[in-house]
Amino acid sequence: MDRYPVLDKVNSLEDFKQLKEGDLPALAAQMRQYMIENIARCGGHLASSLGVVELTIAMHRAFNSPTDKIVFDVGHQAYAHKILTGRREAFCTLRQEDGLSGFPKREESKHDHFNTGHASTAISAALGMARAMKLKGEDGIAIALVGDGALTGGLAFEGLNDAGQADVPLIVIINDNEMSISPNVGAMHRMLVNMRSSAWYVRFKRRLVRSLDTGIFGRWLSRHMENLKNRIKSFLMPVRMFEDMGFLYLGPIDGHNIEELTRMLQRAKDLRVPVIVHCVTQKGKGYAFSERNPEKFHGVAPFSVDTGDIEAALKKSNSSVFGETMIELAQKDPLIVAVSAAMPIGTGLTEFAGRFSNRFFDVGIAEEHALTMAAGMAAGGLKPVVAIYSTFLQRGYDQILHDICLQKLPVVLAVDRAGLVGDDGETHQGVYDMAFLSTMPNMTIYSPATQQELVHMLRLAISLGEPAAVRYPRGSLMQAVSEQPVEKGVWEEILPINEQTVMATGTMVSVALPVCRKHNVGLINARTIEPMDESMLSRVKQTAKRVVVMEEGIDCLGLRVNAALSPVPVVRMCVPNDPVSQACVNHQRQFCGLTADALEENLMEELA
């Protein structure tokens, strides 16, 4: 018996458009099962995609892609879109080398109108497309699908502020999956405070309370109306907020009712003005394990469909080591605080947040705010540690330079996912942080080669009371104990400096070590990218006739070593400027020439 009788008919968007309305509920159910089975094998962003199946179906019934431009914010929720737009049979290759991207990709389909991966970009991108279509006399409209979490990002508010005044047909669909918007974040918080304190709301609230506060039942209801108050906020306040910004507001709408969604989206399309369509969905819908724990199934490794059990890592992760060290240090020093930008689980800070709730601050998807707030904390005498993935730290360049480094404020950046990251592909590679952080004045950059070094470097960075970054990769660094203590600007001579000497940093040390031992080549562990070890460089310059530098990032340490050692020849092994596509990390290293075999070949050429 055919397991997917409706889904199997959909090999293109045109096929989908031919389906009858009565087939759509079955299509939604089959798409969910298809996604679950495939993601269970290869991993991916499951919960968010399960939550928007009906919404995606409705979008493609109401809109006419590629004439109408649909932009998915972040792109975690684009799996159903990929299936409907001719990529069903290739879906089993999701996030694999030479397979489908886990995010929308213009190179992949004419229906992917904008490459995404980072949050809060969709409104600005869609507005740009709407303006382009207007200037070119094209008939289409632009649609931005944005999660409620992405609205915590400042860029989303900048886009809304501009779009509300734009005379273009733009639809912003808010996917409110009940993972609620934080009430304490930036512009959203200020707008809600303004509305709660506005005259109309105060009068409404007082009259309602007065009318209830009579009689036994009324007083009981008044005391138990927190639920009602939340309903008032949910249904009345978004109207004022968005319409004050220049949008027509439609909603909230049941995000799993295809008929209602399609009708409302078609209405929004016909209006030809900036419109907000507010849809309420359930993250993880259709898979019990994901419904109960959507955070666990947000970005998930391969798992058992029957039990929901996820493949466990064999070794303790670097993020876990960081989190444990933060708890240890915070127990001894009440001034240490931790800051996260919506990633407490991924950065290993969940237990810290539970143990020190008043010293943990999750600011939402707002990296720029996180960094400047941390600078303010440091100026106030605290010792903030900001844990952010390398790829997202890029968004805070100006804050690191202007607010932290120029003021020499003691903010420590815990740069997680530094280096190649694997199946998330080019939008998430952590290969740029060394290069841009090394240009910052007063910044020390630590690059541990082992988990033991990670612990010592974090302790040292906090204790020195100055701007610092500790960068470490996804997964697990090697376990090794060195007799040489970790010091700022001091490198470790693992194997004696020789005529051929390799300088490696971070995870590349474990790659280079067996090769250097085999060929009697010197090996230096460059523990800090900035400052460099001038004494060690002087010794290398006196002895070495050729130096190889290995780093899992774009050319940074190699460039600086090359300048310091001139005229000694320096071979720079690093990540090329070409974007590194999705694949397992080992294959990405092969693409970049950052393997033991590549190093051995390099050394053997010189020896020959």
Reported as a single tens digit per residue, the pLDDT across 113-148 is 999 888 899 999 999 999 999 999 999 999 999 988
Q: Which of 95, 359, 395, 560 is catalytic?
A: 395
pLDDT on residue 311 = 79
Check residue 182 and give its pLDDT: 32
* Residue range 547-576: mean pLDDT, rounded: 97
The pLDDT value recorded for residue 8 is: 93
To the nearest 10 degrees (0 to 180), the angle between helices 226-244 and 186-196 is 110
DSSP run (H or E) holding 386: strand 383-389
The torsion region of residue 20 among left (phi > 0), alpha (psi -120 to 50) and beta comes to: beta
Q: From edge to edge, which strands make up the β-sheet containing 546-554?
A: 492-495, 522-525, 500-504, 546-554, 570-575
Helix residue ranges per DSSP H, 282-420: 288-292, 318-332, 350-355, 367-379, 390-393, 397-398
Q: Which residues of 48-83 are buried (b: 16+ CB within 10 A; e: fewer)?
A: bbbbbbbbbbbbbbbbebeebbbbbbbbbbbbbbbb
Output the average pLDDT for the chain.
89
| pLDDT value of residue 445 | 98
Matching residue, tokens 């907000």? 276
Query: Which run of H or E residues covers position 512?
Result: helix 508-518
Q: Are 54 and 100 in contact (CB under 8 A)?
A: no
Of the chain, the percentage scoring pLDDT greater than 90 comes to: 70
Residue 560 annotated in active site: no
If pLDDT is split at 50, 70 and 90, which confidence band does 396 have? very high
Q: Which residues pair with 146 in a beta bridge?
A: 174
Q: pTM for this structure?
A: 0.84
Q: How far apart are CA 115 and CA 108, in angstroms?
A: 10
As beta bridge partners, residue 522 has 501
Q: Which residues pair with 300 in a beta bridge?
A: 44
Q: What is the spatial distance between Cα 227 and Cα 93, in angstroms, rounded to a whole number?
A: 45
Amino acid identity, residue 580?
Answer: V
Give 37-80 pLDDT, tens digit per residue.
Answer: 999 988 888 888 999 999 999 999 999 999 999 999 988 889 99
pLDDT value of position 222: 55
What contacts 24+ positions apart, CB below 8 Å, involve 355-360?
355/327, 355/330, 356/327, 356/330, 359/330, 359/334
pLDDT of residue 202: 43
* Nearest-angstrom CA–CA distance, 364 and 375: 17
403-462, pLDDT tens digit by residue? 999 999 999 999 999 999 998 888 999 999 999 999 999 999 999 999 999 999 999 999
Query: Distances from the Cα of 579 to the Cαs of 76, 138, 534, 572, in angstroms?
Result: 20, 32, 32, 18
Question: Cβ contacts of residue 424 below 8 Å, gap of 6+?
Answer: 95, 102, 103, 117, 582
> Which of the residues 87, 269, 283, 285 is marked catalytic?
283
**29-33, 389-393, 558-562, 603-607: least confidently modelled range:** 603-607
CA quadruple 45, 46, 48, 49: dihedral, nearest 10: 100
Would the pLDDT of 234 be above 70? no
Q: Greater confidence, 308 or 214?
A: 308
Q: How far apart are CA 526 and CA 103, in angstroms?
A: 35
Task: Find all residues with CB under 8 Å of 200, minimum gap 6, and list them.
Answer: none
User: Which are the contacts of 483, defined by CB distance < 8 A and separation ≥ 6?
Assistant: none
How high is the pLDDT of residue 251?
82
What are the C-alpha distances in Å from 193 to residues 185, 239, 241, 364, 388?
11, 15, 11, 18, 29
* Domains identified in the chain and CATH numbers: 55-74+96-288 (3.40.50.970), 318-471 (3.40.50.970), 492-607 (3.40.50.920)
> Contact at 8 Å (CB) between 160 and 246?
no
- Choose the catalytic residue: 61, 88, 367, 546: 367
Tokens of 51: 């939550």
Least confident stretch, 231-245, 484-498, 499-513, 593-607: 231-245
Neighbours of 206 (CB within 10 A): 10
Say whether pLDDT at 252 is over 90: no
DSSP letter, residue 404 = I
Coil, strand or helix: which one is 592?
Answer: helix
Q: How far is Cα 72 from Cα 90, in angstroms, rounded to an integer?
A: 20
Q: Which two three-digit tokens encode residue 143?
A: 């649609």
Predicted confidence (pLDDT) at residue 219 exceeds the cutoff of 80: no
- Residues 6 or more apart in contact with residue 15 via CB below 8 angstroms: 9
395 classed as catalytic:
yes
pLDDT, position 168 = 92
